[in-house]
Structure 1
Amino acid sequence: MKNIRNFCIIAHIDHGKSTLADRLLEFTHTISDRDMQAQVLDDMDLEREKGITIKSHAIQITYPFKGETYTLNLIDTPGHVDFSYEVSRALAACEGALLLVDASQGIQAQTISNLYLAIDNNLEIIPVINKIDMDGAMIEEVKDQIVELIGCKPETILLASAKSGIGIEGILAAIIERIPAPSGNVDAPLQALIFDSVFNSFRGIIIYYRIMNGSLKKGDKIQFASTRTDYFADEVGVLKLTMTAKDEVKTGDVGYIITGIKNAKEVKVGDTITLANNPAEMIKGFEEVKPMVFAGIFPVETDAFEELRDCMDKLQLNDASLTFELETSQALGFGFRCGFLGMLHMEIIQERLEREFNQTVITTVPNVSFIAHTSKGDTITVNNPTEMPDPTKLESIEEPFIKAQIVTHADYIGNIMTLCLGKRGIIINQSYLTSTRVELTFELPLTEIVFDFYDKLKSSTRGYASFDYHPIGYRESDIVKMDILLNSEKVDALSALIHRGRAQDFGRKLCEKLKELLPRQQFQIVIQAAIGAKIVARENISAMRKDVTAKCYGGDISRKRKLLEKQKEGKKRMKQIGNVEVPQEAFLAVLKLD
């Protein structure tokens, strides 16, 4: 066990984690040259296309050092704030972390928050400055930033370039020398922490775990601590590039187990595997995930609901930060109300449902949870606009607030202030990390962040700002429900809960957008935005007209008038019975309102 090292790579998005993982695998000959490709651990098409890591990936490396062979378990983690739950799970399975900082960009918001996560888990941190061979590398400045942030000695910071393979040997040596070996007792009862799982249509559910105490043999009768159900270990092994079966996996190792479980509900990330004949205590694993953004996901065909439920279960296995519950909507039928960690997370889930499970789904407008207090003294959690109590019975309503950290270049402070104050933000703190880098701390309502805050932040700072946030509780606010009416019929999927000060502006923009997107009909369509009984905005889509007077050439005007009157009557009748189909683009357009 003294020759095992478990470590992960943490960094801000785009600082070169996956590339460094590639070099480590290449240098230690874990992967043959034929199998080598860029982002080798990112096995989803989606990850390669977007150039981001979505899932943490574990892989085992063997490396000879000073006459002994060491087993290194590497976990590559995502860098985006929406996948920080993945990072927290990867950290629970490790004793050390490589903190990667881009030499040309310096420390950014996600670097700081991932560092705090690692410190909370008592990990040994090895700072590495990456991309030192780039033209814009500011090695000395970045060194000073790291020293100030971590309080380490400048000579302990490693310099590397993952792309060209500089400094890889030094990193491997540091991993072996600085990261402690796993502590644990091989003879104690088995305790293995589940940190991930994936569904395989042939083998059932494959569970990934880290053994804290004891050992796991093939054929053992195991038990899950939370559900107390028993299974047999059909196959156990370690994670090389592919799964490699072994007879026994011991303390300190990261491995997988196949038990033939088919039902996704039985496996929970953060659970503990023990032996059925000698059960151990449950390990205190992870905190429960707190979803930030909620949206409804509905099947396009109503009879595909059961199939969608299956797919959601399988997807939740692989992405534990997705939460969902049943929901019904008048317009869309049965579906799910899902909780996501952010907008990117929501987009990725929708993409994965379409690609991996061939599900075409409709996603409603994302929103957050509010807490409503009625005049009778009841407290109601309002997850979507339909649950909002009648305004006459409403005493007060509270909305969630977050604390946002923005790290940026000093030139862009004005732009960021304008953006955040326009989003009802309150500035808490402004501190200079170096002479040109500033950290701004704001308290912002989550409702304002959900839509397009991140995109606007990027465009107003030319991509130089990095953003990180965490929830700080609920505060009282003036929130109203805004309905969209088409020919006086409510479209419940387009309703939104919004701050009263912004409702009129939002309603007007939404009506204009819908006017562009709704197809014209034979009758006039009236689009209205309403708060209660008060209409705040209106647009008309005029009817398509057939030229009924074409056959009347010359002659008396009264003949033409008669035909036009007849057409008008028909249109009026049509308007009463005709219904307006809302295309999927219209639901999505709401998200992209400027």
Structure 2
Amino acid sequence: MTELSKIRNFSIIAHIDHGKSTLADRLIQRTGGLSEREMSSQVLDNMDIEKERGITIKAQTVRLDYTAKDGQAYILNLMDTPGHVDFAYEVSRSLAACEGALLVVDAAQGVEAQTLANVYQSIEHDHEIVPVINKIDLPAAEPDKVKAEIEDIIGLPADDAVLASAKSGIGIDEILEAIVHKIPPPKGDRDAPLKAMLVDSWYDPYLGVVILIRVIDGVIKKGQSIKFMQAGTQHLVDRVGAFRPKIETLPELGPGEVGFITAQIKEIAQTRVGDTITDVKRPAAEALAGFKEVQPVVFCGLFPVDAADFEKLRESISKLRLNDASFSFEMESSAALGFGFRCGFLGLLHLEIIQERLTREYDLDLITTAPSVVYRLHLRHTKDEAAKTIELHNPADMPDPNRIESIEEPWIEATIYVPDEYLGPILKLCQDRRGIQKNLTYVAGRAQLTYELPLNEVVFDFYDRLKSISRGYASFDYHQIGHREGDLVKMNILVNAEAVDALSMIVHRSQAEARGRHMCERLKDLIPRHLFKIPIQAAIGGKVIARETIAALRKDVTAKCYGGDATRKRKLLEKQKEGKKRMREYGSVSIPQEAFIAALRMGDES
């Protein structure tokens, strides 16, 4: 049993690549969590993708034993959270399990967009925030300028910010002392009914679903019957423990403690992040606030390049779903691409990560259809059906336009940080994407832009364009602000007068022509020539808005005529013309897989 006054629960807030995982490594090393031999870089990032990209995808936790300079022994629970906006809900639950946070800012780069988003979440949870200025040993480091930025942008006093370099091990002791003396201990009542928050869960092939929890009140121990209050399911606890970062089994977890339990759960879908765990016999009066169902935001189709890989894809997707409850999928078939799955993701990074894991870990070649967002369709009243509202995930399922009263699309509020010299092109990019400017302020030679944008315009290639325009210096963060009505239409791509379902998309009417022309030009270069002329058209309903034609391959039928009467040549050419006309009526155009892959490449390049 640990005294509450000796526990400290904290998380690390930082923008991508500001040294969060390296700092976690140093803290583990300094407190003896792992020996020198067991240590590896980015210890808490388990996946190769996490290490390569320098991002954290799954929240991790580690319990550290620290003896402070005053001789007192403390237990520090570090919650390593994902930094990316796609995982904002997981971040909010991890932050809700803590009493304080280390705000890590790169001494060379200063405050970035994601730092800001997560620090505001932390302030909302009433956290004590300890600023840490990292990478002070870099030649470009400007700690005083960064201190001023923290005070100006975030409004936190930064006089006593800890100056550190996680890579070189500078300032690690000062950080540990600041955690102990500045972050308050947790509150909780050991004798109250059990109330614990489900912070995260993942699937382990040997243990089943491992559930990461923070106990608020009461005690949880092996053999106890517990209930998930939101899911309404009951389970028997068969293991209680903590990560140091190696698994350590404990007899119990008391108030204020962070650890894990297993309860022979096979399906990760039963363990929803943010759920409240309580005792079956003596339940808590009410669940913890802040729970919400995680809804997919971006949808796209995943199809195997080789149709024989379909079963392998089904198996691989099911395995990934074991570890990621926020990823959803259902089967779909396409005339052009065969059988595949319509998948839902939390955002574009989530989509990229799932796609990359399927390619790497399961050795699959995939075609990804253009990502689309969830539209809300208000349908008119007809004599057969009453008026109703439906959600549309797939443009191919769009009902008859005459039935649609209005279409609403999701909008986001985006915060962009960018150096002054790139401001003009970025303002133009946001205007081109139907953005509404809300705010523009300057802090320490950088512009902070706030824009409202349709999510549909962002899912294509907005992030890539932003990075290329600003040479990688712009940082971008967003949150959803609800649905708004828009003049949206379904655009079909017709090849030889036949609609290709995999290429249909929902676009704003004002941009349909440009997007359609771009798609037609692209397909003209990608589809090989046939023996007959092939028209490629972009159409809205029955109206063609763009067209390109692939010229026919021509066989020289007059080659065998040497001199002689010209009528003989004309007769052969007429015969060829007739044959081409008949061929165009009955011939089918084979679109190679490479053409699909290139046409559906996520970067819209326009």
TM-score by length of 1: 0.91
CA contact (8 A) 1:291 1:341 kept: yes
CA contact (8 A) 1:509 1:593 kept: no
CA distance in 1, matches of 2:148, 2:217: 40
Match in the other structure for 2:604: 592
Match in the other structure for 2:259: 255
Residue 202 (structure 1) aligned with residue 212 (structure 2): no
CA contact (8 A) 2:460 2:602 kept: no
CA contact (8 A) 1:510 1:590 kept: no
Q: Residue 244 of structure 1: which of 241, 248, 252 is its match?
A: 248
Of stretches 584-593 and 472-481 in structure 1, the one that deviates more from structure 2 is 584-593
Q: Residue 369 of structure 1: which of 370, 374, 395 is its match?
A: 374
Give 1:512 deviation, angstroms: 1.6
The 5 Å alignment of 1:441-452 reads 441-452=450-461
CA contact (8 A) 1:373 1:396 kept: yes
Residue 279 (structure 1) aligned with residue 283 (structure 2): yes
SS of the residue corresponding to residue 129 of structure 2 reads strand
The 5 Å alignment of 1:75-474 reads 75-280=79-284, 281-298=286-303, 311-312=316-317, 314-324=319-329, 327=332, 329-332=334-337, 335-357=340-362, 360-376=365-381, 377-434=387-444, 436-474=445-483
CA contact (8 A) 2:368 2:597 kept: no
CA contact (8 A) 2:269 2:325 kept: no
CA contact (8 A) 1:517 1:585 kept: no
SS of the residue corresponding to residue 126 of structure 1 reads strand
Q: Could you report, residue by residue, the CA deviation over 1:160-211 in whole angstroms, capped at 9, with x for unpaired residues?
A: 1111111110100011111111211222222221121111223322222112
CA contact (8 A) 1:365 1:591 kept: no
Give 1:365 deviation, angstroms: 0.9
Q: Could you report, residue by residue, the CA deviation over 1:30-89 in whole angstroms, capped at 9, with x for unpaired residues?
A: 121112222121110111222222222211111111222211111222323333233223
CA distance in 2, matches of 1:317, 1:96: 31
Q: Could you report, residue by residue, the CA deviation over 1:277-299 in whole angstroms, capped at 9, with x for unpaired residues?
A: 33334323433335432222345
CA contact (8 A) 2:488 2:508 kept: yes
CA distance in 1, matches of 2:208, 2:567: 77
Give 1:570 deviation, angstroms: 6.0
Relative distance call for 1:223 and 1:514 in structure 2 (3 A) is same
Q: Residue 41 of structure 2: which of 18, 38, 42 is its match?
A: 38
Root-mean-square deviation (CA, aligned residues, Å) is 2.8
Counterpart of 1:80 in structure 2: which amino acid? H
Match in the other structure for 1:9: 12
Q: Where does the alignment leave 5 or more consecutive residues of structure 2 unmatched?
A: 382-386
SS of the residue corresponding to residue 86 of structure 1 reads helix
Give 1:556 deviation, angstroms: 7.7
Match in the other structure for 2:27: 24
CA distance in 2, matches of 1:101, 1:238: 29
CA contact (8 A) 1:158 1:171 kept: yes
Relative distance call for 1:325 and 1:212 in structure 2 (3 A) is farther
CA contact (8 A) 1:31 1:241 kept: yes
SS of the residue corresponding to residue 152 of structure 2 reads helix
SS of the residue corresponding to residue 138 of structure 2 reads coil
Relative distance call for 1:517 and 1:243 in structure 2 (3 A) is farther
CA contact (8 A) 2:503 2:600 kept: no
Give 1:382 deviation, angstroms: 2.9
Give 1:100 deviation, angstroms: 0.9
Q: Could you report, residue by residue, the CA deviation over 1:201-237 in whole angstroms, capped at 9, with x for unpaired residues?
A: 2332222211222222223233322343333222221
Q: How many residues align?
A: 593
Relative distance call for 1:221 and 1:302 in structure 2 (3 A) is farther
CA contact (8 A) 1:486 1:525 kept: yes
CA distance in 2, matches of 1:551, 1:26: 84
SS of the residue corresponding to residue 181 of structure 1 reads coil
Of stretches 73-82 and 562-571 in structure 1, the one that deviates more from structure 2 is 562-571
CA distance in 1, matches of 2:532, 2:464: 38
Counterpart of 1:367 in structure 2: which amino acid? S
CA contact (8 A) 1:267 1:317 kept: no
Give 1:517 deviation, angstroms: 2.5
Relative distance call for 1:18 and 1:212 in structure 2 (3 A) is same
Match in the other structure for 2:384: none
Relative distance call for 1:315 and 1:93 in structure 2 (3 A) is farther
Of stretches 105-114 and 548-557 in structure 1, the one that deviates more from structure 2 is 548-557
Counterpart of 2:440 in structure 1: which amino acid? Q
CA contact (8 A) 1:189 1:274 kept: yes
Q: Where does the alignment leave 5 or more consecutive residues of structure 1 unmatched?
A: none
Relative distance call for 1:265 and 1:105 in structure 2 (3 A) is closer
Residue 492 (structure 1) aligned with residue 501 (structure 2): yes
CA contact (8 A) 1:197 1:269 kept: yes
CA contact (8 A) 2:268 2:325 kept: no
CA distance in 2, matches of 1:360, 1:61: 42
CA distance in 2, matches of 1:204, 1:393: 48
Of stretches 441-450 and 482-491 in structure 1, the one that deviates more from structure 2 is 441-450
Of stretches 444-453 and 273-282 in structure 1, the one that deviates more from structure 2 is 273-282
Relative distance call for 1:592 and 1:128 in structure 2 (3 A) is same
Match in the other structure for 2:63: 60
Match in the other structure for 1:477: 486
Q: Could you report, residue by residue, the CA deviation over 1:82-136 in whole angstroms, capped at 9, with x for unpaired residues?
A: 3323322321221111111111111111111111111122221111111112111
Of stretches 314-323 and 125-134 in structure 1, the one that deviates more from structure 2 is 314-323
CA contact (8 A) 1:85 1:321 kept: no
Relative distance call for 1:242 and 1:356 in structure 2 (3 A) is farther
Relative distance call for 1:374 and 1:527 in structure 2 (3 A) is same
CA distance in 2, matches of 1:426, 1:393: 30
Relative distance call for 1:92 and 1:496 in structure 2 (3 A) is same
CA distance in 2, matches of 1:28, 1:70: 11
